[in-house]
Amino acid sequence: MASDFKELEELVMEDMRRVYSEQVIDHFQNPRNLGEIPDSDGFSTITGPCGDTLEISLRVRGDRIINANFWTDGCGPSIASGSMTTELAKGKSIAEARSITQNDIMNSLGGLPEENEHCALLAANTLHEAIKDYIALKKEPWKKGYRRR
Ligand code: FES
């Protein structure tokens, strides 16, 4: 029974390797920075046209992102994209993080199948909105009290 399960697991992995890069599989199976930063300095949630939602929360100190987390209810590539996006954002200045693109995320993941490229776009857009939220709160910190999360 256990060996049947092992064989099935290996078949599933073989199928995944045919479609996804090692980096995508790694970030999908072992997502980095999963969860939400409580009382974050910048937060965004976007539901893409596919119906999947991705959230990013940021901890910023001195205009540098010292922590970035994500959550998604989406597909494997959206988990990998959220994971990689937060890894790319961490340690970057706000200006540097703003220029992280869909292509940067896809390249860091070793590419995505064409039908999953929008997953990286969702992650890039969510990061950019979280940065906008940070900038808006920096200008008007009192608005944080009206934020639901
Ligand atoms: Fe919706 Fe991947 S299919 S984010």
**Residue-wise pLDDT tens digits, 51-72:** 999 999 999 999 999 999 999 9
| CB neighbours of residue 39 within 10 Å | 11
Output the CA 105–ligand 1 centroid distance in Å. 14
Task: Give the pLDDT mean for 125-132.
Answer: 98
Residue ranges covered by each domain of the chain:
2-146
CB of 37 closer than 8 Å to CB of 55: no
* Mean local confidence (pLDDT), 68-96: 97
pLDDT at 24 over 70: yes
Which is nearest to 55 in space by CA: 82, 76, 81, 33?
Answer: 82
Right CATH for 2-146 from 3.40.50.970, 3.40.50.720, 3.90.1010.10, 3.40.630.10? 3.90.1010.10
Q: What's the chain's average pLDDT?
A: 94
Contact (CB, 8 A) for 134 and 58: yes
DSSP annotation of 144 reads G
For the CA atoms of 104, 106, 111, 115, the dihedral, rounded to the nearest 10 degrees, stands at -140
Q: What secondary structure does DSSP assign to 43-101, as a single string?
A: EEEEE-TTS-EEEEEEEEETTEEEEEEEEESS-HHHHHHHHHHHHHHTT-BHHHHHT--
Ligand 1 centre from 87 Cα, in Å? 19
Is residue 147 over pLDDT 80? Answer: no
- Residues with catalytic function: 50, 119
* Ligand 1 pocket check for 76: Cβ under 6 Å: no
Q: How far is the CA of 85 from the centre of ligand 1 (A)?
A: 15
Residue found under tokens 């010292």? 66
